[in-house]
């Protein structure tokens, strides 16, 4: 493993002070050196620079372009390897190959197809609100994450992809272990192998007997006479299920938390003075689902201001810090303000060719789930002090451990 860069900001694997880390990164400038568990890299905290680099073809997703990996410094024992060396999918290739792997997914998530999904999301939301109601009687404390925010996105993405509901607990457990910095690396590697086996078997079943879901559509896709390989379908499927539930969990929880700790803003939403769409965009900007997105690699030297990203170096997008850019979002960017006119300019789901293909689905789920939650439980309130809410030890996702609430 590489030695830490002497002036690098160490990214805390335990996420003990996310707000403080964001402040330190912002203070260090638009591009700064960080240490990721012994791996030096650059991180971007500036909105304009991020947009520039996210469309720069000299930065690629191919891990083989990473000098530390090609020279054997980074191995399979590095805890974050599974987030970068994740097999062949639209998330790990660039250029024409990326477009070929992505096109069927984006076709399945057009605005029209998303509207067709609306009744499904509404039905699943009602089912889970009923579960929440049953768990939250007079004086009871219920964890919104466990009962509502966690299962909802998994059910939605699973129905879209054709994943059996009985497998949800197993998948949620696997992804929890995969992302957590508390998971021993040998166990994480076993989880990665188990997911590969599970999704490969699923793809083979649907290859033999296609059904009406996105996985079957990917299998049957034939773009330019070159259908997706089994590895490519599995890679897309694994990443879509992961991204399709993790981001939405955080979006729902962080929005509820922000509103419950700012009753005057919640009142403006409930009175319909401010639209839920605006609330969601401000939540994405202020406390988005992704903290640090790993990683792109320079195929040649790239100059950014006075800094040179050398060929073979890794670049991380620190989206939480980017969302606090005062040049774009105003001097009060560290405040949550549902009336912020520039909130919609956030790039919390990425920018450029690799923008998250499920961004519109996450927004749709939040736009249905949040008003339904507050309509069903108008007396909703935190059961603990906001300062008692802690983040899970996940370096990449903005994931809180629990959100205990009183419903009545």
- pLDDT of 144: 98
As a whole number, mean pLDDT of residues 208-221 equals: 91
**What 3-state DSSP class applies to 33?**
strand
8 Å CB contact between 144 and 389: no
C-alpha–C-alpha distance, residues 360 and 114, integer Å: 8
What is the percent of the chain where pLDDT is above 90?
89
Q: Report CA torsion sign: 170, 175, 180, 186.
A: positive
Lowest-pLDDT range, 13-22, 115-124, 130-139, 342-351? 130-139
Task: Please write the tens of the pLDDT for every residue from 318-349.
Answer: 999 999 999 999 999 999 999 999 999 999 99
- Strands 59-60 and 381-382 turn out to be unpaired
As given in the structure block, the two tokens for residue 238 are 């694994």
As a whole number, mean pLDDT of residues 6-19 equals: 92
Cβ within 8 Å of residue 147, ≥6 positions away = 128, 131, 132, 135
As a whole number, mean pLDDT of residues 278-288 equals: 98
C-alpha–C-alpha distance, residues 148 and 21, integer Å: 29
Task: Please write the tens of the pLDDT for every residue from 96-115.
Answer: 999 988 987 887 788 888 89
- pLDDT of 104: 79
**What 3-state DSSP class applies to 148?**
helix
Question: Residue 21 above 70 pLDDT?
Answer: yes
Question: Residue 25 above 80 pLDDT?
Answer: yes
Question: Residue 139 above 80 pLDDT?
Answer: yes
In the DSSP assignment, the letter for residue 404 is E
**What 3-state DSSP class applies to 310?**
coil
As a whole number, mean pLDDT of residues 336-365 equals: 96
Question: Residue 222 above 80 pLDDT?
Answer: no
> Which pTM value belongs to this model?
0.96
Sole residue written with tokens 């640090």: 292
- pLDDT of 54: 98
8 Å CB contact between 5 and 35: yes
> What does the H/E/C string look like for 43-98?
EECCHHHHHHHCCCCCEECCHHHCHHHHCCCCCCCCCCHHHCCCCCCCCCCCHHHH
- pLDDT of 3: 45
Question: Residue 137 above 70 pLDDT?
Answer: yes
Task: Please write the tens of the pLDDT for every residue from 149-200.
Answer: 999 999 999 999 999 999 999 999 999 999 999 999 999 999 999 999 999 9
């Amino acid at each position: 493993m590489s030695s830490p860069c002497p002036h690098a900001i160490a990214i805390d694997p335990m996420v003990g002070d996310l707000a403080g880390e964001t402040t330190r990164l912002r203070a260090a400038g638009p591009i700064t050196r960080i240490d990721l568990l012994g791996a030096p890299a650059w991180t971007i905290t500036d909105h304009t620079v991020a947009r520039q680099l996210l469309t720069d073809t000299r930065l690629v997703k191919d891990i083989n372009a990473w000098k530390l990996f090609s020279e054997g410094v980074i191995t399979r024992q590095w805890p974050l390897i599974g987030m970068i060396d994740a097999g062949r999918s639209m998330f790990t290739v660039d250029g024409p190959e990326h477009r070929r792997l992505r096109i069927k997914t984006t076709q399945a998530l057009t605005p029209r197809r998303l509207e067709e999904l609306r009744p499904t999301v509404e039905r699943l939301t009602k089912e889970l609100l009923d579960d929440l109601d049953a768990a939250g009687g007079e004086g009871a404390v219920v964890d919104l994450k466990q009962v509502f925010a966690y299962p909802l996105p998994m059910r939605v993405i699973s129905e879209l992809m054709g994943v059996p509901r009985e497998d949800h607990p197993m998948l949620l457990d696997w992804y929890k272990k995969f992302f957590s910095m508390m998971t021993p690396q040998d166990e994480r590697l076993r989880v990665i192998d188990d997911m590969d086996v599970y999704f490969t078997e699923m793809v083979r079943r649907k290859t033999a007997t296609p059904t009406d879901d996105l996985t079957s559509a990917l299998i049957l896709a034939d773009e330019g006479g070159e259908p997706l390989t089994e590895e490519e379908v599995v890679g897309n499927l694994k990443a879509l299920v992961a991204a399709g539930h993790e981001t939405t969990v955080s979006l729902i929880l962080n929005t509820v938390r922000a509103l419950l700790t700012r009753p005057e803003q919640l009142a403006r939403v409930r009175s319909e003075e401010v639209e839920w769409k605006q609330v969601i965009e401000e939540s994405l900007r202020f406390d988005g689902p992704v903290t640090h997105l790993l990683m792109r690699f320079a195929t040649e030297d790239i100059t950014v201001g006075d800094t040179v990203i050398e060929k073979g170096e890794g670049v991380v997008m620190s989206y939480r810090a980017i969302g606090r850019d005062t040049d774009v979002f105003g001097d009060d960017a560290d405040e949550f303000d549902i009336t912020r006119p520039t909130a919609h300019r956030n790039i919390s789901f990425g920018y450029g060719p690799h923008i998250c293909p499920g961004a519109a689905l996450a927004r749709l789920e939040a736009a249905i789930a949040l008003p339904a939650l507050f309509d069903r439980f108008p007396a909703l309130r935190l059961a603990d002090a906001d300062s008692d809410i802690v983040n899970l030890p996940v370096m990449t996702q903005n994931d809180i451990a629990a959100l205990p609430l009183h419903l009545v």
